């Protein structure tokens, strides 16, 4: 599959579509527990709404995207100030919408021996000059489709155009396949809402893409501490019974709904 067109960032003082830049600890998936720098890219192809689970927890980077605030030099400064950190979490929104930025980051990471994890819903394939360290795939299933007539977090009424936008790049299997094949490593990190319908979709995609269970991390749905605590035992039992890995979301357990943690 053809990648999105590659480019480079020429001006390191230009404000990028990055609305959060902070130090934290990776609390999801196969690199759990490692100190990292999170770079949140604003803008997303999707418009996720999870019914009782509410809107996308980073709706300020997707449904109502904030403007970017940080430059490439800000990213460099963050690593200069934290020389002990050798990880990067590129999250969003949808970082694959910004191929030049992702590519530039691979050059920086290569110079500094930093491992990049890119979080992606799998909308686009981005082939970078240096492969990414880890592709963290969280595709969105039927339970993410917004319903016509409901209000967005910013008060807009959902119409069919909004729903079509959400579905346009959803479950782009060719892009997901190419991301898995090109980059250094990956894991499949679907969010499970506790229903058998959702589990069936998760499992069908896993089998179709040939992803082994030991590269599958099931994550509980919920974007607050209370919701997660209810879901954790279900996910523990599911993983123990079926042989998936369990991924918590411990930054939410630790900080609840606080941003930039």
DSSP class per residue in 94-110: -GGG-HHHHHHHHHHHH
Q: Between 140 and 189, whose beta carbon lies closer to ligand SF4?
A: 140
Q: State the minimum distance, in angstroms, from the CB of residue 147 to ligand SF4.
A: 15
What gap in Å lies between CA 61 and CA 69, rounded to an integer? 12
Site string for ligand SF4, 22-61 (x = CB under 6 A): ----------------------x-xxx-------x-x---
Nearest approach, Cβ of 93 to ligand SF4 (angstroms)? 5
* Cβ-based nearer residue to ligand SF4, 133 or 190: 190
Give the nearest distance from C-beta 122 to ligand SF4 in angstroms: 9
Helices 196-209/173-182 angle, 10° precision? 50
Strand-pair category, 115-120 with 87-91: parallel
Mask 95-134, x = binds ligand SF4 (CB under 6 A)?
--------------------------x-------------
In the beta sheet, which residues pair with residue 120? 137
Q: Are 154 and 64 in contact (CB under 8 A)?
A: yes
Nearest CB to ligand SF4, comparing residues 86 and 152:
152
Instruction: Give which of 51, 50, 25 is closest to 38, Cα–Cα.
Output: 25
Residue 71 DSSP label: B
Q: Do residues 112 and 77 lie in contact, with contact meaning Cβ atoms separated by under 8 Å?
A: no
Q: Residues 153-192: x/- map of binding to ligand SF4 (CB under 6 A)?
A: ----------------------------------------
Of positions 92, 99, 133, 248, contacts ligand SF4 by CB under 6 A: 92
> What are the distances in angstroms from CA 65 to CA 59, 188, 222?
7, 26, 21
Least distance in Å: CB of 48 to ligand SF4?
3
How far is 27 from 250, CA to CA, in rounded Å?
5
How many CB atoms are closer than 10 A to CB 202? 20
Task: Work out how close the CB of 72 gets to ligand SF4 at its nearest, in angstroms, rounded to a whole number.
Answer: 22
**Residues 131-150 vs ligand SF4: string with x where CB under 6 A?**
---------x----------
- Residues making contact with ligand SF4 (CB under 6 A): 44, 46-48, 56, 58, 62, 92-94, 121, 140
């Amino acid at each position: 599959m053809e990648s999105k067109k590659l480019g480079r960032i020429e001006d390191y003082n230009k404000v990028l579509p990055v609305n959060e830049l902070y130090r934290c600890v990776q609390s999801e998936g196969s690199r759990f527990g490692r100190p990292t720098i999170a770079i949140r890219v604003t803008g997303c192809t999707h418009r996720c709404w999870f019914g009782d689970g509410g809107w996308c927890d980073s709706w300020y980077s997707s449904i109502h995207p904030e403007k970017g605030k940080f430059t490439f030099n800000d990213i460099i400064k963050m690593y200069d100030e934290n020389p002990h950190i050798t990880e990067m979490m590129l999250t969003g929104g949808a970082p694959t919408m910004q191929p030049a930025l992702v590519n530039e980051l691979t050059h920086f990471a290569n110079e500094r021996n930093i491992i990049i994890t890119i979080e992606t819903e799998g909308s686009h394939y981005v082939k970078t000059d240096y492969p990414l360290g880890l592709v963290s795939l969280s595709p969105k299933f039927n339970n993410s489709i917004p319903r016509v007539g409901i209000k967005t977090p910013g008060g807009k009424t959902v119409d069919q155009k909004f729903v079509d936008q959400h579905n346009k790049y959803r479950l782009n299997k060719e892009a997901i396949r190419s991301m898995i094949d090109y980059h250094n490593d990956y894991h499949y990190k679907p969010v499970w809402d506790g229903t058998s319908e959702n589990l069936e979709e998760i499992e069908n995609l896993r089998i179709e893409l040939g992803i082994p269970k030991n590269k599958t991390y099931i994550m509980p749905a919920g974007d607050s501490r209370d919701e997660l605590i209810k879901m954790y035992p279900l996910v523990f039992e599911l993983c123990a019974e079926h042989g998936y890995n369990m991924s918590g979301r411990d930054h939410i357990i630790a900080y609840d709904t606080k941003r930039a943690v």
